[in-house]
């Protein structure tokens, strides 16, 4: 392997716009020849990547996969909805989601994909399309006896919201349980809860909300003696906004999600969920 100097790496980086480590590897693969290294970077779709690094990738697509006791959700981001809804982009997202379901969610970019890796395929796609394209959020659930469900909300010809949910304490083969699990996934996509149970909320988050509501109530001119009671009432509203089991079910607001799940039996519980929406953290 040739002895690649920092000066050569810097020169290649300046001419190609590729990353420092990619330039070093290109020179090593090309026996230190600058022109050959530039060609190597182009074949790998790496030239010009850093020139797009500062651009926002707040578009993209999401896909979800259920495979037995495995559920996977993958987000890949880009800069425009034109690219996000293209067939090639959507196929790549679906392929990576299936890959995560099969191989796991550790170091997804380095996982093999065809004759290259997931990361290299995405970088090459970005170079070809002239956009900053990146692997976004990745979620994978593996259950041992629970019931998994997934939902993808499609808008403008691509998935923009993805949800995974797990129910335990039910028979995964029970059709009623499957319907409820999917209803819960649909609800999560629409209502955007942050927690399963009230007990899942960090104590400091509740205290911060209490302080805000107390100040708000006091500024409204409410009697000092009534403030604590008013704040507790408003905190209940906060919980209904963000706690899944306390929310009114989107298809029947008179029924809570907790009541919906309890209809499956005393042991039925939502164990966990994930919700990812393009453009939102």
Instruction: Give me the CATH number covering residue 231.
Output: 1.10.286
Q: Are residues 13 and 152 in the same domain?
A: no
Give the closest residue to 147 by CA, choosing from 276, 275, 274, 269.
269
Task: With respect to residue 268, please indicate whether it lies within any of the assigned structural domains.
Answer: yes
Q: Are residues 117 and 186 in the same domain?
A: yes
Helix 203-219 and helix 224-242: axis angle, to 10°?
Answer: 130
Q: Are residues 132 and 258 in the same domain?
A: yes
Task: With respect to residue 166, please indicate whether it lies within any of the assigned structural domains.
Answer: yes
Task: With respect to residue 116, please indicate whether it lies within any of the assigned structural domains.
Answer: yes
Q: Are residues 78 and 180 in the same domain?
A: yes
Q: Are residues 213 and 251 in the same domain?
A: no
Task: With respect to residue 180, please indicate whether it lies within any of the assigned structural domains.
Answer: yes
pLDDT recorded at residue 35: 83
Q: Which residues partner with 74 through β-bridges? A: 63, 138
Provide block-wise average pLDDT over 10 residues at a time, the chain (281 residues).
83 81 88 85 67 62 95 96 94 95 94 89 90 94 96 95 97 96 97 95 91 88 92 91 95 93 96 94 68
Task: With respect to residue 91, please indicate whether it lies within any of the assigned structural domains.
Answer: yes
Task: With respect to residue 67, please indicate whether it lies within any of the assigned structural domains.
Answer: yes
Q: Are residues 236 and 253 in the same domain?
A: no
pLDDT recorded at residue 54: 46
Q: Are residues 144 and 272 in the same domain?
A: yes
pLDDT recorded at residue 41: 82
pLDDT recorded at residue 140: 98
For the chain, the distance separating the N- and C-terminal CA atoms, rounded to the nearest angstrom, is 43
Task: With respect to residue 1, please indicate whether it lies within any of the assigned structural domains.
Answer: no
For residue 99 the two structure tokens come to 């890959």
Q: Are residues 155 and 186 in the same domain?
A: yes
Domain that holds residue 33: 6-52
Q: Are residues 135 and 190 in the same domain?
A: yes
Whole-number Å distance between alpha carbons of 84 and 188: 23
Q: Are residues 271 and 192 in the same domain?
A: yes
Q: Are residues 103 and 11 in the same domain?
A: no
Task: With respect to residue 184, please indicate whether it lies within any of the assigned structural domains.
Answer: yes
Domain count within the chain: 3
For residue 174 the two structure tokens come to 């029970």
Whole-number Å distance between alpha carbons of 278 and 78: 10
Sign for the CA dihedral angle at 264, 269, 270, 271 comes to negative
Output the domain CATH number for residue 30.
Answer: 1.10.8.10
Output the domain CATH number for residue 66.
Answer: 3.30.479.20
Q: Are residues 16 and 64 in the same domain?
A: no
């Amino acid at each position: 392997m040739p002895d690649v100097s920092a000066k050569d790496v810097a020169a290649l980086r300046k001419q190609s716009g590729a990353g420092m480590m990619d330039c070093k590897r290109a020179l090593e693969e090309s026996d230190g020849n600058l022109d050959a290294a530039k060609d190597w970077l182009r074949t790998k779709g790496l030239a010009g990547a850093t020139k797009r690094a500062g651009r926002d990738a707040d578009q993209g697509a999401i896909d979800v996969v259920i495979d037995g006791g495995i559920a996977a959700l993958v987000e890949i981001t880009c800069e425009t909805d034109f690219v996000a809804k293209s067939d090639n982009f959507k196929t790549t997202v679906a392929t990576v989601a299936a890959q995560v379901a099969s191989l796991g969610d550790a170091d997804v970019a380095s996982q093999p994909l065809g004759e290259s890796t997931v990361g290299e395929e995405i970088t090459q796609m970005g170079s070809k399309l002239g956009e900053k394209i990146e692997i976004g959020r990745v979620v994978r659930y593996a259950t041992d006896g629970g019931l998994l469900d997934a939902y993808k909300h499609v808008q403008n010809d691509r998935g923009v919201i993805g949800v995974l949910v797990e129910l335990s304490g039910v028979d995964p083969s029970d059709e009623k349980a499957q319907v409820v699990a999917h209803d819960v996934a649909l609800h999560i996509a629409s209502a955007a809860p942050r927690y399963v149970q009230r007990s899942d909320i960090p104590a400091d988050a509740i205290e911060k909300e209490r302080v805000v509501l107390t100040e708000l109530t006091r500024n409204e001119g409410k009697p000092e003696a009534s403030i604590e009671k008013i704040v507790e009432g408003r905190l209940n509203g906060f919980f209904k906004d963000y706690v899944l089991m306390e929310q009114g079910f989107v298809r029947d607001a008179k029924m809570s999600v907790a009541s919906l799940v309890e209809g499956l039996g005393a042991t039925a519980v939502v164990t966990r969920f994930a919700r990812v929406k393009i453009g939102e953290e």
